[in-house]
Amino acid sequence: MENLALIESFSEFKDDKFIDRVTLMAILEDVFRSALKRKYGDDGNFDIIINPDKGDLEIWRNRVVVADDEVEDDNSEISLTEAQKIEPDYEVGEDVAEEVKLIQLGRRAILALRQNLIAKIHEHDNTNIYKHFKELEGELYTAEVHHVRHRAIILLDDDGNEIIMPKDRQIPSDFFRKGETVRGVIESVELRGNKPNIILSRTSPKFLEQLFFQEIPEVFDGVITIKGVVREPGEKAKVAVDSYDDRIDPVGACVGVKGSRIHGIVRELGNENIDVINFTTNTQLYIARALSPAKITSMEIDEENKKAEVRLHPDEVSKAIGRRGHNIRLAGKLTGYEIDVIREGAEEDVELSEFSDEIESWIIEEFSRVGLDTAKQILEQDIQDLVKRTDLEEETIVEVVNILKSEFED
């Protein structure tokens, strides 16, 4: 049968979950009409009857009978002699419906027709996959590791859709093997050409937020609302929560007895340290809570420039800054304020930038990155702790400490 290739095409796609019967028939007719236009120049006088369930196909060409010497358009007109070969009693002026066999289009045309059909079905599928995943942006999603590459992990879901998790969307401690299940959030979906590019993320703050929705019933039910989430993936996170029911302690409900509720989330995130704090519209109180576990002595707020100057006892400063500066950076992101820490009784301190003639700028920037901006802030730290917190060599740190000590000795 000359339509065998088309029958195979029908059976290949008619059960596709992303395409309904009406759409499939419309695509099929469009493909056949394109082939007829290429062959005959016009498809307006053709009837196409398709049964995609069985692979049945009929194409009928409709022409008007004219006298033998009056044929002007072979596609829309047929001579009386040719018409009477089909049916002897045809007369001039009558309509002739003649079935067109696929073989008449030519073998190459049939092959091209099948390829065109497959391309249009895939294009339709890709558009629907794109729409499907676009609606899932920001939602939790689970897929299986199909291939591990240097810069990304390729995942497949239960429907065989390809999902990409780039290296920078993986938690630093993540390690997955082929066949393992991975959970994350659909971060973005884009069409590249005709193919959807689906990105899964485990580093997005939205991932942590969605884990709260899944693991904590009060959040899922809307009794507790999440007001803000900030993260430094694999290291530390802060989550601000609130409840409209005064009888419920939102922090206690999220953490659980002895951390029972949040423990599973911490494990999922590679033992990321999660601070859950009570949200408040009181800016000073919100900043103070965000800097927990440090205890603040006093605070000055610059609302116009979104800056906060907080004063602490010297032994509280390291708590406010946190390991590698994580705590103060996350507090700033959560509250939306640039937070400056000032030690009480440290008025005689000297900004590190004042030593730019003796200390290279990149070294000053590295100390600043972890929240150390003044001479005394560095001198109060243990050298080995500075080595761990920064990306500086011990020799460099010792040299800096000696420069700073000499300043205060002078």
Q: Residue 103: is its pLDDT beyond 80?
A: no
Mean pLDDT across 113-128: 74
For Cα atoms 87, 91, 95, give the angle at the middle one, nearest 5 degrees.
Answer: 75
pTM, two decimal places: 0.64
For residue 254, the number of C-alpha atoms closer than 13 Å in the C-beta half-sphere is 28
In whole angstroms, what is the distance from residue 173 CA to residue 189 CA?
25
Identify the bridge partners of residue 184 per DSSP, sorted by sequence position: 141
pLDDT in tens, 353-383: 878 878 888 998 888 888 888 888 888 888 8
The mean-pLDDT minimum among 56-70, 128-142, 204-218 falls in 56-70
- Partnered with residue 58 across adjacent β-strands are 49
Q: Which two tokens stand for residue 353?
A: 């930038």
| pLDDT over 50 (residue 291) | yes
Confidence of residue 2 (pLDDT cuts 50, 70, 90): very low
Torsion of CA 388, 393, 399, 404, to 10 degrees: -30
Share of the chain above pLDDT 90, in %: 41
**pLDDT at site 1:** 39
Q: What pLDDT does 84 receive?
A: 86
Confidence of residue 4 (pLDDT cuts 50, 70, 90): very low
Q: In 10 A of CB 96, how many CB atoms?
A: 18
For residues 55 and 14, what is the distance between their CA atoms, to the nearest angstrom?
Answer: 10
Q: How many CA atoms lie within 13 A of 49 on its CB side?
A: 8
Stretch 281-288: mean pLDDT, rounded? Answer: 94
